[in-house]
Structure 1
Amino acid sequence: MRRRRGPDRAAIWAASRGGVITARALVALGVPESTVYHRCRDGGPWQRLAPGVLLLSTGQPTSDQLVVAALLHAGADAVLTGLEACRRHRIRRGPASGASLHLLVPHTRQVRNTWFLRIDRTRRLPHPVSRGGIPLAPVARAVADAARLLRSEREIAELISDAVQRNLCTVAQLVTELDAGGQHGSATPRRVLRDVRDGIRSAAELDAKKLWHRSGLPEPWWNAPVHDAAGRFLGIADAWWDDVALAWEINSYQWHLAPEDYAREQEKRARFTAAGAAILPTLPGRLRVQRREVTAELVASYRAAAARPRPPVTAEGPGARPR
């Protein structure tokens, strides 16, 4: 009697999503259940990623394969949130996607966490945004969920400031998400949000604000647009002391590696200098490891700027008035 042949390799792969498929789908294709699990044993050609979810190859699964496996494991209506969702929303700064993915599922569903997956049951399941066929939590929810699980204030600042600065979500939307999600893990994100609302755009600028507090100088305007006497736009000063027309620039190698970015930074510095504005450039790393030296440089720059006649430049900031 001739043995009935199961589906060929091409048919199995076509039924998968990038090589990820459920055991139930394989059985429905005609692969015996015993064969499915035999092929997932050590040394076999397949591997199990989650209960009942397989990868049709060996080796390290890709991030896309893990996301698909997580969604298959969690079931219908599951939504990807947290750092991986932030990355897929094109948020560039903050920590890389963590070791674990983060999914939201309806509160009535019982689903177990796995070695690469954290699952939160929620009564506030968001309406997903689809990116590449993956259901993502909206930006504000994804950022808030990620920020609650982070422990580093600097990482939280990078994540939140990038999302807000690039108009992917607003401070108000993030506050709403944190309020709706309760107090757990929200203290540091709320503190960072206050700084972002006041104009802080990066973790380096947050470090700068902390150093300014120790300097004894008056508070600057953070991220203030500056114009020359003719009204021409010079640039946005990271910190601006309007009384003495001093700009403090936190110049990060990380965001000026491209030649055109470096050129724009140099052109901006030249415009400030030509208009008579004093400018103090500081590398971000020095804000943390050379605090005393940077503080001394900042105070000296302020005093030097105060000792010269103030140039006819104008800036926009809290309580700013035309000169």
Structure 2
Amino acid sequence: MNANRRTSDPQTSNPLRTPDGLGAPAHGVLTERQLRALGVTPAVLAERSRAGGPWRQLLPHVYLLRPGAPSAEERVRAALLYAGRGRGAAGPDAVVTGPAALALHRFETMPAPAATRVIDVLVPYQRRLRDAGDVRIHRVRELPRPQEVGGLPCASVPRALADTLGGLDDAETARRLLTEAVRRGHCDPAAVLRELSGAGLLERPHVAAALPALREAGRKTAEQRLYTMVRHGRLPDPVWNAELRLPGAPPLGAVDAYWPEHAVALVIDDRTGTADDEARWARGASLRERLEALGVTVVGPTPAGLRDALDDQATIVRTALVASADRTPAAYMVVTPR
């Protein structure tokens, strides 16, 4: 007999070898159905996933194809495989949310994904699934549009925040989560408040206590982006945070930036959609009308626009500055920096 020749059961030596010669999948978490499609028999599966075997069952019908503890990605992937039925043409049918999603979005306030105790997963309402292991199932009427994070379907940051805060009662943690979302550029306050309002969380004491910090972080972040827009867009320097008035008259109001030579004012439109905020904005809405009646052009970028389309916002301001040469001269304004 040839000493170099070895005989073995191909199912045992390489149970993931498929008839067309393909080997093991790129990641190490698969469902029982996927394993069977790859040629793994029930007997081999039972043998390999026994106590002390090379594989480990993480959740019902979901297996880790190596010994040891699963990684953060493997835990989330296992949760999604347990909750989902595979991706269809319209996208995934299970979406991770809550603290696990925030951890995947790399929130510093949350522990690393591997340390997240529970993995919250959204599934369509008609699914009949139970919680299993560290997976908590939430049945919803409509799945949110997911964001791919490392190839995994995650809820957007505003939705994941709302789902996280719904399970908390700590105002300090709520404040840190909300301000981090804005300061690190994940989203703007308006998007967060829409989700919190839709979830009925705005009146919860720990959330209400954190909202002023959210608005302050949103305002400061938008102002920083405005400075960046002027600098990178090579726009002329304005008078920052200026109060405008006609000579000898009471103040008309304050603007975030003003270009006196061009009679162009900029006011960040930081409305968030809440009742209190709309009332605040309504009280100052006449400022634009008064200024425009005096020949001043008013530009109102939103925080989201300054975050996602900074070059476009710079173009809008530049166009207004150039167009001032063709406009009727505006009334003379006394400009006082605040």
Q: TM-score, normalised by structure 2?
A: 0.54
> Of 53, 57, 62, which residue of structure 2 is paired with 1:44?
53
How has the CA–CA distance of structure 1 residues 135 and 23 changed in structure 2, closer, same or farther, with 3 Å as cutoff?
same
Q: Partners in 2 of 1:95 and 1:39 — Cα distance?
A: 32
Give the one of 136, 146, 157 matched to 1:118: 136
What residue in structure 2 maps to residue 27 of structure 1? 36
The counterpart of 2:187, out of the listed 159, 163, 169, is 169
Q: Does the residue aligned with 1:102 lie in a helix, a strand or coil?
A: strand
- Report the CA distance between 1:185 and its aligned residue: 9.4
Q: Residue deviations 1:35-67, cap 9 Å, x none? A: 212322211111100100001112111011111
Equivalent residue, structure 1, for 2:11: 6
Q: Which moved more, 1:49-58 or 1:171-180?
A: 171-180
Q: Which residue of 2 aligns with 1:146?
A: 164
In structure 2, how many angstroms separate the alpha carbons of the residues matched to 1:170 and 1:132? Answer: 23
Q: Could you tell me how far apart the structure 2 residues matched to 1:110 and 1:184 are?
A: 30
Q: Give matches, 1:82-101, under 5 Å.
A: 82-97=98-113, 98-101=116-119
- 1:17 deviation in Å? 4.8
After the TM superposition, which residues 154-193 of structure 1 pair with which residues of structure 2 at under 5 Å, given as runs?
A: 154-183=172-201, 186-193=204-211
**2:172 is paired with a residue of what secondary structure?**
helix
Deviations 1:81-117 (A, max 9, x none): 1122123223333454421111111111112212211
The answer to whether the aligner puts 1:196 opposite 2:242 as a matched pair is no
SS in 1 for 2:166: helix
Aligned AA (2:10): R
From 54, 61, 66, the counterpart of 1:57: 66
Q: Is the 8 A contact 2:183 2:218 kept in 1?
A: no
Pick the structure with greater CA Rg.
2
Equivalent positions of 1:198-213 (< 5 A) are 198-199=216-217
- Report the number of matched residues: 212
CA contact (8 A) 2:183 2:217 kept: no
Alpha-carbon RMSD across the aligned residues, in angstroms, is: 3.5
| 5+ residue gaps, structure 1 | 202-222, 224-230, 234-320
User: In 2 relative to 1, CA 177–41 (structure 1 residues): closer, same or farther, beyond 3 Å?
Assistant: same
- The answer to whether the 8 Å contact 1:83/1:96 transfers is no
Distance 2:196 2:158 in 1: 9
Give, in whole Å, the separation in 1 of the partners of 2:142 and 2:82.
Answer: 20
Contact 2:179/2:213 (<8 A) preserved = no
Q: Show the 5 A alignment for 1:221-260.
A: none
Report sequence identity in percent: 37
Aligned twin of 2:96: 80
Distance 2:167 2:201 in 1: 12
